[in-house]
Amino acid sequence: MGAAELPQRHLNRRRVAACLLAPALGGLAGLAHAQSQLNQRAWPARQAAPLLTLERWEGAPWALAAQLGKPVLLNFWASWCEPCRSEMPSLELLATRHEAQGLQVLAVNYRETDAAVRRFIETTALSLPVLRDRDGGAAKAFGVRTFPSTVAINRRGQVLSIAVGECDWASPAARQWVGAAL
């Protein structure tokens, strides 16, 4: 049975396994996992995003409700996830490319310590704004169980869809997906 024929639960297990095994395999799983196509999970049509307030890395609160009128991408990641680490430069480039259009690309850390997040930011020179999902509530609200996962929210505050797994954000499929949010 090919990957296209597997039920979604099996695909999610494979992605999680790739994310968990990547550090042990020296990043090879992360490289093999990189995609030019987008694996998407649908969100109910025209449904508003959950109202979230998350803490910024700097400590100030960030509220999704205050972002109405701006397209938002929330990228859920963890420092132990090699595909998350390898995807960050592509996300930073995406943020730079669409800054003039108001796109906000935010890196939402999933349940890690301050020390782990600080180490990640320092070693990668991450420039994206970092939000903290300390208790996992934001990931749960969006049904995120695979890392990385990126939630696209349009200017009306509606979730368009969720990209599951590592993505090349410069690919044609990703540009089209982001274009829908803009």
Give the SS3 label for residue 135: coil
Rounded to an integer, the average pLDDT of 134-142 is: 97
Q: Would you say 109 and 55 are in contact if contact means Cβ atoms under 8 Å apart?
A: no
Q: Which two tokens stand for residue 148?
A: 């990385």
Residue type at 35? Q
Question: Taking all residues of the chain, what is their mean pLDDT, rounded to a whole number?
Answer: 84
Number of domains in the chain: 1
pLDDT in tens, 9-39: 333 444 444 443 333 333 333 333 344 567 8
Q: What is the CATH number of the domain that holds 79?
A: 3.40.30.10
Lowest model confidence (mean pLDDT) among 34-38, 39-43, 124-128, 163-167: 34-38
What does R_g of the chain's alpha carbons equal in angstroms?
15
- Tell which residue, 141, 167, 169, 178, has the closest CA to residue 15: 167
Q: Which residue has the tokens 């649908």?
A: 42
Q: Which domain holds residue 167?
A: 3-181
With bands split at pLDDT 50, 70 and 90, how would you rate the model's confidence at 169? very high
**How many residues are present in the chain?**
182
pLDDT score of 82: 97
